[in-house]
Amino acid sequence: MRTYIDELKKHVGSEVSVAGWVDARRAHGKLIFIDLRDRTGVIQSVVTPKHEAAYAQAALLRGEWVIEARGIVNKRPEKMVNPDLETGTIELEITDIAVVGHAHELPFDKEEKLNLDTHLDHLPLTLRSARNRAIFSIQARIIEAFRIFLKKEGFVEFQSPKIIGEDAEGGASVFKIEYFDHEAHLAQSPQFYKQIMVGIYEKVFTTGNVFRAEKHSTTRHLNEYTSLDVELGFIRDHHDIMNLGGRLMHSIISHVAETSAHELKILGATLPLIPHEIPHMKLRDAQKIIHERYGEDCAKEPDLSPQHERWISEYALKQLNSDFIYITHFPSEKRPMYVYEDEADLGYTKSFDLLCRGLEVNTGGQRIHEYDDLVAKIQRKGLDPEKFSFYLQAFKYGMPPHGGFGMGLERLTARFLSIDNVKEATLFPREINRIDTLLSH
């Protein structure tokens, strides 16, 4: 019966079986010390010449070899206690070792700070570092919290296809697929399907990969990422969606705080500050603030630039005590065809971006729900409604006022943990020149 390392403290004085990777091995006089790592932690182990076979085996061990071992859990003397280690009050005296997986010599210490390309070239090894295990275990908690919250609110999960004909966002940055004798595309979002699903269950969510053929490589963009998508019917306006998004964010932050104290400590990360209600302002008001406080006149621009987003986040933190701020009312002509125009502010939409610590992490808003309005809007955008006939059925056969949003899981992870480059918060990031390994030219 295997005992996990985080349970060893309960077995002081007993013999246990453990298994894991050799995190480090060093000789100290006649003693061999092995830091053994499993999915729950690291334990300092010692092998003495007294246990001949184990000692001979221990002498051969190298980093990342996989072993099963037996040993006695001993309490460390007071002065040997390591307060930085969860298991710092105990030590394992190993009596038997069996090697179950061998490793070649490591190219570098996996805990080393590497440049991004070296890190990405060696992910199967570098992801094993304490830092990376902490990042992606928090990422798992974020998506878990997303689902827990929405299920409590009565949302139904659905599975959205990624192979699509026409793209919802209508942009150029879409990947082409050879679909038998046809050309198809990879979905940039589950937009059409989540709207259709509002007709089925009113409140829906979906999680899954989405694809953007962005040619520029930045610290903010990914060619493939995990989108957390929500859509709900019978709303009054976009404020209902923003309110839902705010409560969801509260819930995610609490869940990460409750489940991941150890990981946050490893990363030295502080979760974002979120007030009871996330502040919001129109794009035009944000632009005024930028002009007044930072001296740049961007009033004519249809969106915020990355620098503008950082400025407004700085403003929100200093003036509104919030790491989050909603920017609303982007101009109608720059938003996709399904976005709802504000009757009280013509030319501007009931849509929003949510900024967190200088970066947009959530985009959403109210959608057009009347068939005739949507067909007219598609035409006004210079598109052909016939190409959207499948999607349009949802509206032809009755849709309530509705809206929703989409969040990038990797961006959210990066902002929660103050990681500058979103690629470091992505397990296996795709770049224009990289699919796991660099693409040859």
Give, as ranges, the residues between 376 and 415 that touch a second copy (CB under 8 A). Answer: 389-391, 393-394, 396-401, 409-410
In the sheet that 402-408 helps form, which strands lie side by side, from edge to edge?
156-157, 203-211, 224-233, 402-408, 359-367, 351-356, 324-328, 280-282
Between residues 151 and 265, which has the closer beta carbon with respect to a second copy? 151
Q: Is 437 in the site for a second copy (CB under 8 A)?
A: yes
- Residues in 412-431 at the binding interface with a second copy, rule: CB under 8 A: 427-428, 430
Q: Given the complex with a second copy, which of 155 and 326 has the nearer CB atom?
A: 155
Task: Identify residue 9 by its one-letter amino acid code.
Answer: K
Based on the shown chain and the rule CB under 8 A, indicate whether residue 56 belongs to the binding site for a second copy: no
213 sits near a second copy (criterion: CB under 8 A):
yes
Instruction: Establish if 294 lies at the interface with a second copy (CB under 8 A).
Output: no
In the shown chain, the binding pattern of residues 114 to 153 toward a second copy, with x for contact by CB under 8 A and - for none, equals --------xxxx-xx---xx--xx-xx--xx--x---x--
How far apart are the C-alpha atoms of 338 and 168, rounded to whole Å?
9
Pattern 243-282, a second copy, x by CB under 8 A: ----------------------------------------
User: Rounded to the nearest whole angstrom, what is the least distance from the CB of residue 119 to a second copy in the complex?
Assistant: 13
Which of the residues 181 through 210 are near a second copy (CB under 8 A)? 181-182, 184, 186, 193, 196-197, 199-203, 208-209
User: Are the C-beta atoms of residues 47 and 18 closer than 8 Å to each other?
Assistant: no
By CB under 8 A, residue 59 contacts a second copy: no
Q: Is the Cβ of residue 213 or residue 317 nearer to a second copy in the bound state? A: 213
First CA to last CA distance, the chain: 51
Q: Which of 220, 335, 369, 415 binds a second copy (CB under 8 A)?
A: 369
Is 223 among the residues that bind a second copy (CB under 8 A)? Answer: yes
CA-to-CA separations, 175 to 214, 234, 297, 369, in angstroms, rounded:
9, 34, 36, 28
Q: How many CB atoms lie within 10 A of CB 344?
A: 8
Of 85, 156, 289, 383, the one binding a second copy by CB under 8 A? 156
Torsion of CA 412, 415, 418, 421, to 10 degrees: 80
Please count the residues of this chain forming the interface with a second copy, following the rule CB under 8 A. Answer: 96
Q: Could you say whether residue 177 binds a second copy (CB under 8 A)? A: yes
Task: Note whether 171 binds a second copy by CB under 8 A.
Answer: no
Query: Are 426 and 156 in contact, with CB atoms under 8 Å apart?
Result: no
7, 33, 38, 70: which one binds a second copy (CB under 8 A):
38
Binding of a second copy by 43 (CB under 8 A): no
Give the CA-trace dihedral at 153, 159, 163, 164, to 10 degrees: -50
Distances (CA, A) of 285 to 242, 326, 340, 345: 18, 12, 20, 14
According to DSSP, the residues that pair with 266 across neighbouring strands are: none
Helices (H), 260-369: 261-267, 283-294, 306-320
Token duo for residue 149: 């919250």
